[in-house]
Structure 1
Amino acid sequence: MSIAQKDLTFLKLGLDCANWTEPVYSDLQRRSAGNEERMLMLYFNRIGWPTSLPTSEKEPFVKSVLREKKSALEELMLKSLPLRPGVEDFIDDACIKGIPVIILTSYSKSGDKIARSIVQRLGHERLSKIKVIGNEEVEKSLYGQLVFGKAMTSSLDEQLAKEARKAASAEKQRIAKEVASILKVSVDIDTSSSESLEKIVAALRAGAEIAGIPVYKCILIAGSKSGVAGAEQIDMPRVVLRSSFTSRAEFPSANAIMDGFGGADLTISKLCQKRWS
């Protein structure tokens, strides 16, 4: 929940006294690890809950705030919210150099529909040269079908055994293990991923699949810890672009951290020159 969304949300709920500045927002985001419900809980614990609100109603109240936030976000996003400076030139340069560009909208906090409406501002000509991956594309991908069960016609063990036989390369072996983990099949790897992280991993896998490039040869350009965490889980190189809300956040697993596109910051030339480990 950004400051702009907060202004609209709190105003609609009659919480005129509620206010958070950029430093307060950054602190709440850091302490809550980006979890919006936790962020609001921490915030109202700090300033005090509405006096008429029973203790047992705190959770429903937070959910109502988040519903209003979603509505406020739609209002904000559907207006002329500008794209990040330099992103058009960055995409154009990638296309000129023959580098596939995949834009992931499926794990956007703003929602697939709203994220796509923002992407549309890139223009028809530019969009014709790139791929936009949303919920539908993820579900139709091989990885998405296996993870979310859309194409399961046999038992999980049989399906996984079939995939294991097809896993001739190291990349496919990794996919088989990840699928097994998410499906709770007995494989000796971490199965503690949250639902949101699983969706992020599925989106990243679908993007790489559609681009026809192994995940370790792709580079995720992210602005959130959740995206970085998903890429780290599948060994995809990741570059963080800071924003005003993440200027103080730490991204220890990122391969690089930059402030924006172009100039001294992120360019296609720098991505091509960098040796990713």
Structure 2
Amino acid sequence: MAATAISIISISSSSPFTPKSQCFLKHNNKLHHQIPLSSFTTTALKTSKTTTTTTLSTRRLSCSASASVSSSSTLPSALLFDCDGVLVDTEKDGHRISFNQTFQERELGVAWDVELYGELLKIGGGKERMTAYFNKTGWPANAPTSEQERKEFVASLHKQKTELFMALIEKKLLPLRPGVAKLIDQALSQGVHVAVCSTSNEKAVSAIVSFLLGPERAEKIQIFAGDVVPRKKPDPAIYLLAASTLGVEPSRCVVVEDSAIGLAAAKGAGMKCIITKSGYTADEDFVDADAVFDFIGDPPEERFDLAFCGSLLEKQYVS
């Protein structure tokens, strides 16, 4: 029987990755193999009705932050970042703390511990998160009873929480994750659109971009956040809006996410998606991701760069 060609993605790097670092690579939308980056090889699969054989290919892709991207290299039309957990690991010691401080100041008798908040993060959006929690556990005694008043009540809690969170960001108490500024600078220098697409409040996202990435970068980065779309992640609406606004094809966009709901949104929009795991998402299911890393990374611990993002747009086949 003739073997069926399966599309593969290859990865290697001239950067000195740590031997323990591993990346998950996407194969034919279903199959993943865990490949140590220290091996710098590609596993190509051939299948037939009766046999499955594995061959090794030494086809290599340069992936160095210090190497310039040649004019012939494939580049994404847009690089789209989630915010919380991707730009900054904000959830446990940022948003959660701000929610709890709000609950305390409003005398609601509610506190979200680390484990509970991790479960609540499966719900996209802070207002939606609070509503789901109160619906399940019971609304506070001092909360209104009508549906419309409860919406307004939750909105007021979220506004107060956002102000507290922004104060943390303005004090720069939460740092950027490794490699974020590097990757954004590479994209901007090559004329690639950069945007941040988040379910978080627009003011909070803008504060992160302005205070942590700096005003020079911030003025070149578009933000799509909060209630800019009626349906939040895992719905793909925010990524489709970003592509439409930027005037690019979704298939030419590469998304950097950290969660399963963000991954679902990116893939639902028809985009490539790289996962950089965060504190709360390390054990989530990323089987549909195009690649999975622990973080982006700066040299000498770089995990990937703009050239690698572009390589995801190039389909390679093994006959």
Q: Report the TM-score range of the alignment, normalised by the length of the smaller protein.
A: 0.5 to 0.7
Distance 1:93 1:132 in 2: 13
Q: 1:221 to 1:78 in 2, by over 3 A?
A: same
Do 1:201 and 1:230's aligned partners in 2 also have CA atoms closer than 8 Å? Answer: no
The residue type equivalent to 2:205 in the other structure is A
Could you report, residue by residue, the CA deviation over 1:179-232 in whole angstroms, capped at 9, with x for unpaired residues?
xxxxxxxxxxxxxx954443431113333x2xxx54323211123556434432
Match of 1:10 in 2: 103
Could you report, residue by residue, the CA deviation over 1:125-179 in whole angstroms, capped at 9, with x for unpaired residues?
6x29x931236xxxxxxxxxxxx9xxxxxxxxxxxxxxxxxxxxxxxxxxxxxxx
Match of 1:206 in 2: 245
1:257, distance to aligned residue in structure 2 (A): 2.5
Distance 2:308 2:191 in 1: 13
Q: 1:116 to 1:90 in 2, by over 3 A?
A: same
Match of 1:179 in 2: none
Give the one of 202, 221, 226 matched to 1:132. 221
Do 1:103 and 1:132's aligned partners in 2 also have CA atoms closer than 8 Å? Answer: yes
Do 1:223 and 1:240's aligned partners in 2 also have CA atoms closer than 8 Å? Answer: yes
Match of 2:254 in 1: 219
Q: Which has the higher contact order (CA 8 A, sep 6+)?
A: 2
Distance 1:265 1:238 in 2: 15
1:249 lines up with 2:287 in the alignment: no
Distance 1:100 1:68 in 2: 35
Within 5 Å, give how 1:1-277 maps onto structure 2: 2-15=95-108, 17-30=109-122, 33-44=123-134, 48-53=138-143, 55-56=145-146, 59-60=150-151, 61-80=153-172, 81-94=174-187, 98=190, 100-104=192-196, 107=198, 109-111=200-202, 113-120=203-210, 121-123=212-214, 127=217, 131-134=220-223, 194-196=230-232, 197-207=236-246, 209=247, 214-224=249-259, 227-262=262-297, 263=301, 265-274=303-312
- TM-score norm. by structure 1 comes to 0.59
Do 2:256 and 2:275's aligned partners in 1 also have CA atoms closer than 8 Å? Answer: yes
**SS, match of residue 206 in structure 1:** helix
Q: Which structure has greater helix proportion?
A: 1
Report the aligned-residue RMSD: 3.6
Could you report, residue by residue, the CA deviation over 1:34-73 in whole angstroms, capped at 9, with x for unpaired residues?
2434432443456554345465478244333223223223
Q: 1:104 to 1:11 in 2, by over 3 A?
A: same
Count how many residue pairs are aligned between Structure 1 and Structure 2. 209
The residue type equivalent to 2:150 in the other structure is E
**SS, match of residue 117 in structure 1:** helix
Unaligned runs of 5+ in 1: 136-147, 149-192
The residue type equivalent to 1:256 in the other structure is A
Q: Which structure has greater strand proportion?
A: 2
- TM-score norm. by structure 2 comes to 0.53
1:13, distance to aligned residue in structure 2 (A): 0.8
Unaligned runs of 5+ in 2: 1-90
The residue type equivalent to 1:21 in the other structure is D
Distance 2:167 2:252 in 1: 37
